[in-house]
A and B are shown apart, each in its own frame.
Chain A
């Protein structure tokens, strides 16, 4: 995984609440922190992809509709022989 950015390099070191689940799971704190940071990073990337996906779709939605579409519909409207 290459990111070219170091968004979470330092943040992963921030103090975390040491909860009951940490003791039950016997997960070393360092692994837990890394896991949480990776999860945050993955979420951020998925959000970014989601934004681009919507942008890609909306770009087409916002295009002017070609006249052809409305012409076809207008013609379909008329009973046979009326055109």
Chain B
């Protein structure tokens, strides 16, 4: 990300206004990304609000006209991992298991296939999950996802591809954590749903 600030006073209400307008349009996307990282709607909104405020406080370092979505996603991601590191030190809890539980209790009313996809996503390593979400759902190019995650483009590509394969294997095996309920034919319902959705277009 470029941090050049050309010919601008530290206090610029007009620029702040433009920045804020664009930031507001990104709130729904920040909430969605936060939800996939935390798996818990309340924790996700806290995270998204923190990220929004961090972005606002750092607005002077953002160059208008560049990719604000990628920039705010990077802030949100950094915030998430720094909080996660803190909580690791405090409680030593198995973060992956905790995430799975959080994902599992999320929205019992959700359609079965989506529910199963969420559970399966929760079983992927965090770096694979975020790469797949950014590229597969967030609409980011590999290059942008690499910038957000602070890694090489090739690393993102291999994480996405490994995530895709792992997700499919989990869904096909019905190996996701179901809290004692029997695993349904997740892959079958996902295929059927995708067919239905594409026929609506």
Which A positions have Cβ atoms within 8 angstroms of B?
1-5, 42, 44-63, 65-66, 68-70, 72-73, 76-77
Looking at B35, B52, B113, B191, the one whose CB has the most chain A CB atoms below 10 A away is: B191
Q: With A and B bound together, what is the CA distance between A48 and B171 in angstroms?
A: 12
**Is A63 a contact of B31 with CB atoms below 8 Å?**
yes
Main SS class of interface, A: helix
Chain A residues near B132 (CB-CB < 8 A): 53
**Is B52 a contact of A69 with CB atoms below 8 Å?**
yes
Interface residue from A2, A53, A59, A65 paired with B172 (Cβ < 8 Å): A2
State how many angstroms separate the Cβ of A9 from the closest Cβ of chain B.
Answer: 15
Q: Counting CB contacts under 8 A, is B127 at the interface? A: no
Q: With A and B bound together, what is the CA distance between A23 and B171 in angstroms?
A: 37
Contact with A along B154-181 (1 / 0, CB 8 A): 0000000000100110011000000000
Please classify how large the interface on chain B is, using the bins under 10, 10 to 19, 20 to 34, 35 or more. Answer: 35 or more
Q: Which residue of B lies closest to A45 (CB)?
A: B168
Q: Counting CB contacts under 8 A, is B125 at the interface? A: no
**Is B114 a contact of A49 with CB atoms below 8 Å?**
no
Given the known A-B contacts A4-B185, A68-B45, are A61 and B29 also in contact in the complex, defined by CB atoms under 8 Å?
yes
21 contacting pairs across A/B (C-beta < 8 A): A4-B185, A4-B187, A5-B191, A45-B168, A48-B191, A48-B193, A48-B194, A49-B167, A53-B117, A53-B133, A53-B137, A55-B197, A57-B32, A57-B33, A58-B137, A61-B29, A65-B28, A68-B49, A72-B52, A76-B53, A76-B57
Q: With A and B bound together, what is the CA distance between A33 and B118 in angstroms?
A: 34
Chain A residues near B71 (CB-CB < 8 A): none
Q: Which residue of B lies closest to A62 (CB)?
A: B28
Q: With A and B bound together, what is the CA distance between A28 and B197 in angstroms?
A: 38
Q: Counting CB contacts under 8 A, is B56 at the interface? A: yes
State how many angstroms separate the Cβ of B6 from the closest Cβ of chain A.
Answer: 24
Q: With A and B bound together, what is the CA distance between A53 and B171 in angstroms?
A: 13
State how many angstroms separate the Cβ of B43 from the closest Cβ of chain A.
Answer: 13
Chain A residues near B35 (CB-CB < 8 A): 60
Chain B residues near A65 (CB-CB < 8 A): 27-28, 31
Q: With A and B bound together, what is the CA distance between A45 and B169 in angstroms?
A: 11
Q: Counting CB contacts under 8 A, is B92 at the interface? A: no
Q: Counting CB contacts under 8 A, is B126 at the interface? A: no
Interface residue from A48, A70, A76 paired with B24 (Cβ < 8 Å): A70
Q: With A and B bound together, what is the CA distance between A82 and B19 in angstroms?
A: 21
